[in-house]
Amino acid sequence: MTNNEILKRLRIALNLRDTDIIEILKLADFDISKAELSALFRSEDQRNYRDCGDQILRRFLDGLIIRNRGRKTP
């Protein structure tokens, strides 16, 4: 299973829109445009397809934790 498939399944399972995913990534200090995000959800044979790297998936998961639990306090 690729990172793109994991991101797609999480988006569906959590009922997230593109704007939600962008906000979640911003919580983890990662900026991405709507066009770059849509490239991650395209199928591999489409033009403008982009692989979802480990860093993007990791930042998304970190942002999701911050969104649901809050920031870690010292």
d(CA 72, CA 1): 30
Q: How confident is the model at residue 70 (pLDDT cuts 50, 70, 90)?
A: confident
pLDDT for res 58: 97
- Using CA atoms, how far apart are residues 56 and 23, in angstroms rounded to an integer? 13
9 contacts: CB under 8 Å, gap ≥ 6: none
Q: What is the token pair recorded at 27?
A: 């919580």
pLDDT band at 71, cuts 50/70/90? confident
**What is the pTM (predicted TM-score) of this model?**
0.88
Is there a contact between 3 and 51 (Cβ–Cβ < 8 Å)?
yes
How far apart (Å, rounded) are the C-alpha atoms in residues 71 and 49? 33
Mean pLDDT over 41-60 rounds to 94
Domain ranges of the chain: 3-69
pLDDT for residue 36 is more than 90: yes
